[in-house]
Structure 1
Amino acid sequence: MPEPQSYTIEEIASLLKVSKLTVYDLVKKGKLPAFRVGRQMRITADDLKRYIAGQKGEASTVSPAVSRPTETAFRPIIISGQDMALDLLGVHLEKGGPYQSLRTYTSSLNGLIALYKGQCDIVSVHLFDGQTGEYNRPYVEKLLTGHAYIMVNLMRRPIGFYVQKGNPRGIQTWSDLGRSDVVIVNREKGAGVRVLLDEQLRLHGLSPSAIRGYEREETSHLSVASAVAAGLADVGIGTEKVARMAGVEFIPLMKEQYDVVMLRTRENEPLIAAVLNVLRSDSFRTELEALGGYDVSQTGQIIAERG
C-alpha cells in the first residue's frame, strides 16, 4: 500500500502518540509546516520525516522543503473550547485577517493551563466561583499569575438540568441531587459544568460521595443529555440548546458567562484587536444570535485585563 503524501492533524497525533494540542503547538511554532485543504489542516509526509529526523539529531535524507506560499501566508491560531460559537469566531477571524484557526476541544481549566504554557492563543472559560458568585475572573487571575492578559465576553447562555420528558423524578434544585432516588451523569474534571456542580454541592453542604452517579463522566453536553435521554441517568447539567437537540427536558438554573481569554503580548496585539473587532461587529452578533440560545448583550465587552 503506497505511503500517504500528507496527514491530517489527527493522524499526526496518532503517529507520534501525542495529543492534538501538542501537534497544533508544533504547527504554531513552525516546527511542523502545515497547509490547508478546505477547512482541514494537513502536513506532508516529507515534513513529518524531517521533523522526526531533527528530533533524533539525524540528517534528513528527504529533499529540502520547497517553499509553499499556502503554508506561510497565514498565522495558525489555536482556539480552545467546545461551544460552536468558537467555530463561528474562527470563521470570522479567517475572513478578516491572516489567521487560520485550529480547534482543540479542551476543558476550561486545562485550556487556561495550556494558555499559561503558550500552547493556545484563544481560550474559552465558563468557570463558576462559589466564593464570589462570579464567573471566570477568580480563576483567570490565579492561573495566569505573572502573565498580562485580556478577557472578553463571547456570550451568555442558560445552564440547567437535563431531565427525562415529564421530569418523572421532580428534580428542580441542586439539593435534589442528594436524594437517594436520583442518579446523575457528570462531566470530566476541569470542565466548566463540573466546576459548577462541585461548587454548588459545596454551597449546599452535599458531599460528592453521597451523589449517586457522580463518578460517571462524559466529555460533552450532548453525551450527558444523551445518557439522560436513554434512561442511564435521571439528571445531568448542560445548556438549553443541547437539550433541544437530544430531546430531553431542560430545567433552567442560571445564566452562564462564557468568556474568551488571550495573553497580552506584543505579538498578540493584532490578534486581540481582530478578536475585539469581530465580537463587536453586527454581523458576528447577528449570526451568533441566529444560532439560538445565546445572549449577546455583553458580547465584545472587556471583562478583565492585566498588563
Structure 2
Amino acid sequence: MSKLATISQEEIAADIHLPRLRWYWDFGLNLSEPETRKLLTLLVALFDTTALREAALKAGMSYRTAWGLLRRCEEELGMTMVTMQRGRGTQLTPLGESLVELDAAARLALGEGHSAWEGRMRSLIEPLRRPVTTSPNRLCVLGSHDIALADWVEHGRQVPIDMIWRGSEDALSALGRGECDAAGFHIPDTWGSDRFSAWLSQWLDPRLHVCIPVMWRQQGLLVRSGNPLQLESLMDVVERGACFVNRQRGSGTRRLIDEMLDKRNIDRGRLLGYGREEFTHDAIAATIASGQADAGIALKAVAYRYDIDFVPLVRERYGFAMRRSSLTSPQVKTLLQRLRGGTFRNRLHALPGYEPMSEVSPLDWDSWIKKTQG
C-alpha cells in the first residue's frame, strides 16, 4: 500500500466550492465521523512504516492521539488492529490489513457511482450560482488548479487576487460572461497559434481579451511508488487493466487525456476508472498515494509532494486571460509586478517541473505562442 497524503478530500472540495457526495464508515462504536476517518488514515500510514510516531505525523495527528485512538477502537471492537514488538515497531494485524484493503476497494467502487450523481447535482446548481464577487481592491481569478499559484496566493505577501479553482474551459467561459476579472488556463506546448486562437475563440474575443504567459510546467502519468505495474503511457494503463483516476470535465487536463485517447483510438470504456473524476492535481495524487487508484495524469510537482512516481508526458504553458480594458487598473499592474518579481520566480524554480516564462506581459493571441517558445 502506498503512502497516504495528508491533505484531505474535504479540504480539496472546500477550495473549489463544488458539491460532493461523501460517505464514511460507521463501525457502531462511540466514534465521531472525523475519528473514523482518522483511524483508517492511520492504518493506511502503517502500511508504509513500522514507526507509529511517523505514521501519526502522516495521518495529521500527534503520537498520543494516534495511540489513544487505536487503543479505544480496539477496546470497543474487542479485536487487535496493530501489534507493537521491541525491535519490530508497530505492525498491522491481519484484521488491520483487511480493514485498509476493504476500505480502498469500497472507495474505488463507490467512486465510480458517485461521479455520475455529483455531475448531475453540479449541473443543477452551477447555472443558478451567483457570479463570484470579491473585494474592489482585489482581482477575482477563476483558473485551472495549479500548486505553484495556490502556494503563492496562500503564503505570498501583497498578492492582489482571490483565486477560485475551476477547469480551464469553465474559467474562460466565466471570463467571457464577465463573471471574473481573469481566467487561468493551460495548453500543451505542441499547440500552434491557429489552434490556440480557435480554442480561445469559443469563449473570448481577440479584440477584447489578451493573454499573459506565466510559466511552463510538466504533466505526466502519476503512478504508485516504484511503478509496480511498469506504466509508461495511457495505453499501458488500458492494456494492463490498471485503475485510473480522471480529471473533471471542463478541465485542461481532462482535454489532454481525451486527446491522448483519441490519438491512439482508445475507446473511453476501456480505461478502467475513466468515469471517476477529481478536481485538483492534489486529489489525483492523494488517490494514487492512498492506494485507491494505480494511475492518473497530474503535475510532476505533486508526485514529489506525495512521494509517488512520475512519468513525463507533456510540457505546458500556463497563463492568464483578461480584458484589455483592465490592463490599466492598479490591481492588474500590481499582479504583473508580482508575477515578474523574484519571489514568485524563485518559487517556480524550487518546484519540480516548473519554469517561469521569460516574458510576463499582455500579448495578442496570435503572438502568444510565438513569443513564449522555450
Among 132, 136, 144, which residue is 2:204 paired with? 144
Q: Hey, what's the Cα distance between the residues in 1 that align with 2:343 and 2:277?
A: 37
Instruction: Tell me the SS of whatever aligns to 1:214.
Output: coil
What displacement does 1:227 show? 1.5
Judged with a 3 Å threshold, the aligned counterparts in structure 2 of structure 1 residues 158 and 299 are, in CA distance, closer, same or farther, namely farther
> Pairwise mapping of residues 1-307 of structure 1 onto structure 2 (< 5 A)?
25=132, 27-28=133-134, 74-81=136-143, 82-87=145-150, 95=158, 100-128=160-188, 137-145=197-205, 148-265=208-325, 267-270=326-329, 271-298=331-358, 300-302=360-362, 304-305=364-365
- String of CA shifts for 1:173-205, please: whole Å, max 9, x gaps: 232233152221101101111110001111111
What is the percent sequence identity of the aligned residues? 27
What displacement does 1:272 show? 4.1
- Check whether the contact 1:228–1:235 (CA below 8 A) recurs between aligned residues: yes
Judged with a 3 Å threshold, the aligned counterparts in structure 2 of structure 1 residues 288 and 180 are, in CA distance, closer, same or farther, namely closer
Q: Runs of 5+ in structure 2 lacking a partner?
A: 1-13, 19-123, 367-374
Judged with a 3 Å threshold, the aligned counterparts in structure 2 of structure 1 residues 188 and 171 are, in CA distance, closer, same or farther, namely same
Paired residue type of 2:213: N
What displacement does 1:138 show? 3.8
- Normalised by the size of structure 1, how large is the TM-score? 0.67
Q: Hey, what's the Cα distance between the residues in 2 that align with 1:221 and 1:195?
A: 14
Q: Hey, what's the Cα distance between the residues in 2 that align with 1:102 and 1:89?
A: 11
Paired residue type of 1:196: L
Q: Runs of 5+ in structure 1 lacking a partner?
A: 1-9, 29-33, 35-73
- Check whether the contact 1:159–1:255 (CA below 8 A) recurs between aligned residues: yes
* Matched residues, number: 243
Greater than 6 Å deviation, 4+ residue runs: 91-94
Higher helix share: 2
- String of CA shifts for 1:4-36, please: whole Å, max 9, x gaps: xxxxxx8xx99xx977x95663x45xxxxx6xx
- String of CA shifts for 1:97-141, please: whole Å, max 9, x gaps: xxx422211111100011001111121101349875998544223
- Check whether the contact 2:226–2:308 (CA below 8 A) recurs between aligned residues: no
Higher strand share: 1
Q: Hey, what's the Cα distance between the residues in 2 that align with 1:294 and 1:190?
A: 23
- Check whether the contact 1:153–1:260 (CA below 8 A) recurs between aligned residues: yes
Q: Hey, what's the Cα distance between the residues in 2 that align with 1:235 and 1:92?
A: 30
Q: Hey, what's the Cα distance between the residues in 2 that align with 1:253 and 1:129?
A: 11
- CA RMSD, Structure 1 to Structure 2 (Å): 3.4
Partner of 2:59: none
What displacement does 1:154 show? 1.1
Paired residue type of 2:328: E
Q: Hey, what's the Cα distance between the residues in 1 that align with 2:209 and 2:260?
A: 28
- String of CA shifts for 1:39-86, please: whole Å, max 9, x gaps: xxxxxxxxxxxxxxxxxxxxxxxxxxxxxxxxxxx5232012222433
